[in-house]
Amino acid sequence: MNKKQLFSGPFLAFILCGTLVPLGVIAFYGLTDRSGAFTVDNILSIATPEHAEALLLSLGLALISTVICLLLAFPLGLILKDSKLGQKGFMVFIFILPMWMNFLLRTMAWQVLLEKNGVINNVLGAIGLPALEIINTPAAVVLGMVYDYLPFMILPIYNALIKIDKNVIEAAYDLGANYRQVLSKVIIPLSLPGIVSGVTMVFVPSLTTFAVSNILGGGKVNLIGNIIEQEFTTSFNWNLGAGLSLVMMIFIIISMALIEKFDRNGEGNLI
Amino acid sequence: MGKYPAEFLKIKMPLIELIDISKSYDGETVLDEFNLKIKENEFITLLGPSGCGKTTTLRILGGFVTPDTGKVIYQGKDITNLAPNKRPLNTVFQKYALFPNMNIAENIAFGLKISGKSKEYIDDKIKYALKLVNLNGYEKRSVDSLSGGQQQRIAIARAIVNEPKVLLLDEPLGALDLKLRQEMQYELIRLKKELGITFLYVTHDQEEALTMSDKVVVMNQGYIQQMGTPEQIYNEPENAFVADFIGDSNIIDGVMMEDRVVKICNHIFPCIDEGFGRNKPVDVVIRPEDIIIGKPGEGTIDGVVTSNVFIGVHYEMCIQAGGFEWLAQNTTSYPVGTHVSMRVVPDNIQIMNKPQSEDEEAMALDE
């Protein structure tokens, strides 16, 4: 074993203990019943109406959150890229600042803000506007997801945008393209790697979250993450929880593969 | 010519005219009431050190920079505030600026697709352009797989398929190595001849400017120092800046004794310049290759060789004489310490008025 391989030791140990072994344990629980006998019932239980509904809702809300984040982050990235403040990274710093605060705390803050008699409704009432009744609805969960995960969309997109050579954009104008064409033929295709990682970093946690839906859904919005959590913490059916987790993993792998494919095919003609 | 008034007019009217263009960045003046006329089918080069305003001039023409004052006239029309994508000019950028997300054919087709040309037309044009830049069959290659020189050729191809009246080139050979640069210089001259369009070229490399241009515009600190053919610029520099910037030269203090006689380092040299008056201090420019070296006493002034370097075709020597260190080039080597004489053919002595002040130094030829 040479020196270079020696340095990779800790990393290999981490992969083994932190990734491979836990995955193996999950797979073992997921593919056995309580007595330890092999079964695929845990996997197939995703087809029960309760689970399927939760999975579909999760996919739907994660998709909506991702799209909203993308629609907010991309124009913001474009603005920051061209502004003097943005170039110094100060504005980006401001936008990712919330990331440094505890995630649960931020989500709970929204709960306080959105409550029936919360801050927002008090203000709305004071100026004579109808109260906002979105707490404990999917809308509140989407709001929480967007708020929590938006920085993960902004950062990679901003990084991709500032890396685009200014000369390349000028060349596009020089060759007769208007702003819309420069955007669709040059800027968006060149920032696609950033968009893909942003989408991944928002979509995956949105799909699997249970904290946001717990806090802002008030138990009325049941996502697949909540069901898995309940199997582990309240029903103590680790086998079913692990089985559903495996199904989730498969869904995430499929989603990523689709995004990757989109990335490759989308070159130059995304819009 | 009076028989053909239309033709006459066409020749008289410049294709592009820059009138009183000024531009400053953060209070620093880059261009000061700059005027330039560009004729159709000319290879014109803006030459100067970095920060002289040459690139700003090009960017004003391309539409990427708006001048603070002044006008850009194209074929009689004011295009000062026209957006870059509406201008009938195309630019070849210093760092190629090819679209990395497209292959070579897509890069070349970009402008044509934007203007809505048919597929057959575009395919024909791509073939034609690749042939013109000697890169047949590169359609499907990716930008990354090309060398710097090849990328630059594609950048040129991408610009010329749009059939611009004027091609703006911003130090396009700056990033290439010497050998490739020389090759590309000949390539550009050939392209210019085949296409019959106007080239506006920006460079800080005097050799490049002299090799390719019909007309060279030497710039410094936002002013034009001299404008003329490469021969005029080299042989008859109008001031010390031009003489110093173009090639190597000895710029020596002298006194014009009378017409056709100049005193340098207390020695009398015959020259061909007239009209400077009597006993007038002047700057004298002598190119190192014009110094004829001989045995002591044979020439106009005697001196001692203080350094000698072989630089390829000839030896470059410093000769201490009359209190001045002369730079001389000769195919014969005179070792350090050799006593020699020097003389210069009257035709090769260039006399220039001394500038009165720094401002005048810059303004001297701003006409």
Quote the minimal CA–CA distance from B213 to chain A in Å: 24
Which residue is listed with tokens 């950028």?
B93
- Please state the domain extents for chain A: 48-265
Mean pLDDT, consecutive 10-residue stretches, chain A (271 aa), reads 78 91 93 88 88 92 96 92 73 80 88 86 87 86 93 91 92 94 94 91 91 88 90 90 92 84 53 32
Pairwise CB contact (< 8 Å): A173 & B110: no
Are the C-beta atoms of A216 and A136 separated by less than 8 Å?
A: yes
Domains of chain B by range and CATH?
A: 5-235 (3.40.50.300), 248-363 (2.40.50.140)
DSSP annotation string for A150-214: HHHHHHHHHHHHHTS-HHHHHHHHHTT--HHHHIIIIIHHHHHHHHHHHHHHHHHHHHH-SHHHH
* Chain B interface, best mutation among A165, A175, A179, A181, by max B CB count within 10 A: A175
The chain A residues in contact with chain B (CB within 8 A) are: 165, 167-168, 170-178, 181, 185-186, 189-190, 192, 267-268
CB atoms < 10 A from the CB of B323, how many?
Answer: 7
Q: Determine how β-strand B301-310 pairs with β-strand B339-344.
A: antiparallel
Chain pair A-B, CB pairs under 8 angstroms: 68
Are the C-beta atoms of A114 and A120 separated by less than 8 Å?
A: yes
Which residue is listed with tokens 């509406």?
B86
Pairwise CB contact (< 8 Å): A167 & B97: yes
Q: How far apart are CA B301 and CA B321, in angstroms?
A: 7
Label residue A251 exposed, middle or buried (CB < 10 Å: 0-12, 13-18, 19+): middle
C-alpha distances (whole Å) from B160 to each of A126, A224, A232 are: 66, 58, 67
Pairwise CB contact (< 8 Å): A168 & B64: no
Helix (H, G, I), strand (E, B) or coil at B12: helix
Q: How far apart are CA B72 and CA B80, in angstroms?
A: 5
CB neighbour list of residue A158: distance below 8 Å, 6 or more residues apart? A73, A76, A77, A80, A81, A86, A92, A194
Helix (H, G, I), strand (E, B) or coil at B254: strand
Q: Which residues of A touch B111 (CB under 8 A)?
A: 175-176
Label residue B4 exposed, middle or buried (CB < 10 Å: 0-12, 13-18, 19+): exposed
For residue A195 the two structure tokens come to 């968009």
Quote the minimal CA–CA distance from B88 to chain A in Å: 9
CB neighbour list of residue A189: distance below 8 Å, 6 or more residues apart? A266, A267, A268, A270, B101
Q: Count of alpha carbons within 13 Å of A109, Cβ hemisphere only? A: 9
Q: How far apart are CA B204 and CA A129, in angstroms?
A: 67
Q: Determine how β-strand B215-220 pairs with β-strand B223-228.
A: antiparallel
Q: Which residues of A touch B106 (CB under 8 A)?
A: 268
C-alpha distances (whole Å) from A164 to each of A83, A86, A161, A170, A271 are: 15, 15, 6, 11, 19
CB neighbour list of residue A17: distance below 8 Å, 6 or more residues apart? none
Run of H or E residues at B250? strand B250-258
What pLDDT sits at residue B356? 65
Q: How far apart are CA B274 and CA B257, in angstroms?
A: 10
CB neighbour list of residue B343: distance below 8 Å, 6 or more residues apart? B291, B292, B294, B298, B299, B300, B301
Q: How far apart are CA B147 and CA B84, in angstroms?
A: 28
Q: How far apart are CA B125 and CA B112, in angstroms?
A: 9
Q: Which residues of A touch B159 (CB under 8 A)?
A: 174-175
Nearest to A174 among B62, B100, B101 (CB): B62
Per-residue pLDDT of chain B (367 residues; tens, 9 = 90+): 445 555 555 556 789 999 999 999 988 889 999 999 999 999 999 999 988 999 999 999 999 999 999 999 999 899 999 999 999 899 999 888 999 999 999 999 999 999 999 999 999 999 999 998 889 999 999 999 999 889 999 999 999 999 898 999 999 888 788 888 888 898 889 888 888 899 999 999 988 999 999 999 999 988 999 999 999 999 888 888 898 888 888 999 999 999 999 999 889 999 998 888 888 999 999 999 999 999 998 999 999 999 999 988 899 999 999 889 999 999 999 999 999 999 999 999 988 888 765 555 544 444 3
Q: Which residues of A touch B62 (CB under 8 A)?
A: 170, 174
Pairwise CB contact (< 8 Å): A174 & B95: no
What pLDDT sits at residue A3? 75
Are the C-beta atoms of A144 and A206 separated by less than 8 Å?
A: no
Pairwise CB contact (< 8 Å): B110 & A190: no
CB neighbour list of residue A142: distance below 8 Å, 6 or more residues apart? A61, A64, A65, A68
CA angle B297, B302, B305 (to 5 degrees): 125
The chain B residues in contact with chain A (CB within 8 A) are: 62-64, 83-86, 89-91, 93-95, 97-102, 106, 110-111, 114-115, 155, 158-159, 162
Are the C-beta atoms of B341 and B296 separated by less than 8 Å?
A: yes
Pairwise CB contact (< 8 Å): A176 & B85: yes
* Chain A interface, best mutation among B101, B106, B112, B154, by max A CB count within 10 A: B101
Q: Which residues pair with B146 in a beta bridge?
A: none
Amino acid at A137: T
Q: How far apart are CA B193 and CA A208, in angstroms?
A: 65
Helix (H, G, I), strand (E, B) or coil at B351: strand
Pairwise CB contact (< 8 Å): A186 & B90: no
Identify which of B161, B142, B163, B143 has the alpha carbon closest to the alpha carbon of residue B152.
Answer: B143
Q: Which residues of B touch A168 (CB under 8 A)?
A: 97-100
Q: Which residues of B touch A171 (CB under 8 A)?
A: 91, 93, 97-99, 155, 158
Domain A48-265, second-level architecture: Orthogonal Bundle (1.10)
Pairwise CB contact (< 8 Å): A173 & B84: yes
Amino acid at A19: T
According to DSSP, residue A7 is labeled: H
Pairwise CB contact (< 8 Å): B99 & A167: no
Pairwise CB contact (< 8 Å): A186 & B101: yes
What pLDDT sits at residue A135? 85
Nearest to B90 among A174, A181, A189 (CB): A174
Helix (H, G, I), strand (E, B) or coil at B8: helix
Pairwise CB contact (< 8 Å): A171 & B99: yes
C-alpha distances (whole Å) from A218 to each of A51, A113, A135, B36, B243 are: 18, 14, 8, 73, 83
Q: How far apart are CA B20 and CA B229, in angstroms?
A: 23
Nearest to A190 among B64, B101, B111 (CB): B101
Pairwise CB contact (< 8 Å): B90 & A175: yes
Pairwise CB contact (< 8 Å): B90 & A267: no
Quote the minimal CA–CA distance from A81 to chain B in Å: 18
